[in-house]
Structure 1
Amino acid sequence: MSRPAFSRLPVTVDLPLLLQALAAIGEDDWHGHFNSAYYTGDWSGVALISAADALTELAPGIGEPRLREPWRRDGRWQRGLRDLPLEIVCARLLRLGPGGRIHEHRDYDLGEPDADLRLHIPLLSPPQVDFMLDGQRMPMAAGECWYLDLARPHRVDNRDTQTRIHLVLDCRPGAWLEQAIIDGGATTPSPLMGDQAIEQFKALLASDPQLCKTLQGLRDNEAFVARTLELAAEHGLVFTREELRAAMRDGRRQWTEQWSA
């Protein structure tokens, strides 16, 4: 069976213990991400494990994995992941501050034969964060463990007022991990569709004035509907033209006040 593009692994991490370890990280431990052209706002990290020959602790390398100070001094990181039999070659905390945006890109090295597999474990995961992979919104919640094929196009937008922090693990492929990815793929939540997606999009508009501005001034009804469908799809929300028109009829006053200039 081929590996899915994304999968919520059927595993458990000790989230309270990992959050305790996170709380012990000082502000001086955080450093700006090395791919400075890829983002706006605060995208920073703390290296827990990284290659010995890495140019910076957050950068990739091909040398032997080296345990960095936060991992060495605090055994809670290892204990929080104790039920995951992984060969970890890189472990980082990655923080995206409120209003931060990681522009669409690909991690091409992850697409190479026998490449490491990247897992994301959200530690702080506010609701108004859009992690888009290949045009689909990844509904990652705190304490879950997700495999993501990040050789595919992906981007992140933190529209929330709270910080997002993920524990990101690069692991060597192995039989247990490959099977966990396949098993998890069968139960991974699908993107919101229909009425649920419409309600989510309305909430998105209420929290994002810039997104509202994009729709303001579109007096032509067809252009308005078409642009709405495009914007919703960009945020991983799927509904039909007919479902959108029905929602607009049912709540015309609310939609007019919210979306009109």
Structure 2
Amino acid sequence: MDIGVPLRELGEFDIEPLKQAILGLDEGVWHGNEYRQETYEVHEQTQSVVLVFTDGSGWPDIEVRKEAGWDMLSEQAVPLMHAILEQYYPPGGTIIRAMAAKLVPGGVIKPHRDSHPSFHYGHRIHIPIVSNPRVRFMLDGRPYRFEVGKVYEINNQKKHSVMNKGDAGRINFIFDYVPPQNIGQGAG
């Protein structure tokens, strides 16, 4: 969604329960759902644990499905997502995507804009879980460093990319929230 600025900091939240759940996952879990990596070239060097997802087919009449990550992370993720939404967004909308996303060491997400119509109507929220000083998130031509423990909304209509030149993976929990006034928008 075009939020009028490249990045909006939403403040500090207690991410510790979600962080511990994510860090406790077996390595193989990260390879269980490779839809994003196979479908979107920019995500080839990422790994995901997906809780809910839509591919956006038939927008605005979409199907949002629970995925395998739901049983692994929803107990910790749902209260955190709801706390963020209650503080900053109108009630009654829908979370259409939610996932833990890892950018492998040395990995790159090439510059892109999120182009599917659902991204024009939904808020894209990033919760940094693990990072390192060598991760750079470029947004609208400027570098940003996301701090663990803070939450951010990005303007996914601006060109953005990520580089992880560190020795460890960068993990963000990402979710897309479509507010009630935007549900069903974009037809025609």
Aligned counterpart, 2:5: 4
1:44 and 2:56 correspond: no
Q: Which runs of 5+ in 1 are unaligned?
A: 55-59, 176-261
Change (3 A) 1:77 1:152: same
Partners of 2:135 and 2:145 within 8 A in 1 = no
Equivalent residue of 2:38, what SS? coil
Higher relative contact order (CA 8 A, sep 6+): 2
Cα separation, 2, equivalents of 1:125 and 1:71: 23
Shift of 1:43: 1.2
Cα separation, 1, equivalents of 2:132 and 2:20: 18
Q: Percent identity?
A: 26
Cα separation, 1, equivalents of 2:176 and 2:134: 26
TM-score by length of 1: 0.56
Cα separation, 2, equivalents of 1:73 and 1:6: 29
Aligned counterpart, 2:155: 149
Cα separation, 2, equivalents of 1:39 and 1:169: 16
Q: Which runs of 5+ in 2 are unaligned?
A: 182-188
User: RMSD in angstroms over aligned alpha carbons?
Assistant: 2.5
> Greater shift after overlay, 166-175 or 152-161?
166-175
Partners of 1:94 and 1:167 within 8 A in 2 = yes
What is the 5 A alignment of 1:91-102?
91-102=98-109
Write out per-residue CA displacement over residues 63-92 of structure 1, whole angstroms, 9 at most, x where no aligned residue.
332222332354122233342236422101
Cα separation, 2, equivalents of 1:133 and 1:111: 20
Structure that is richer in helix per residue: 1
Quick one: which amino acid aligns to residue 38 of structure 1? V
Shift of 1:111: 8.1
What is the 5 A alignment of 1:100-111?
100-109=107-116
Structure 1: 4+ residue segments shifted above 6 A = none
Q: 2:177 aligns with which of 163, 171, 175?
A: 171
Aligned counterpart, 1:89: 96
Structure that is richer in strand per residue: 2
Partners of 1:124 and 1:163 within 8 A in 2 = yes
Change (3 A) 1:73 1:139: closer
Aligned counterpart, 2:184: none
Cα separation, 2, equivalents of 1:73 and 1:101: 27
Change (3 A) 1:47 1:19: same
Change (3 A) 1:125 1:107: same
For these two proteins, the number of residue pairs brought into alignment is: 164
Give 1 or 2 for the bigger CA radius of gyration: 1
TM-score by length of 2: 0.75
Cα separation, 1, equivalents of 2:163 and 2:124: 20
What is the 5 A alignment of 1:1-261?
3-10=4-11, 12-31=12-31, 32=34, 33-35=37-39, 37-38=41-42, 42-51=45-54, 54=55, 60-61=56-57, 62=59, 63-74=62-73, 75-84=75-84, 85=86, 87-109=94-116, 115-173=121-179
Cα separation, 2, equivalents of 1:89 and 1:96: 21
Quick one: which amino acid aligns to residue 164 of structure 2? N
Change (3 A) 1:131 1:28: same
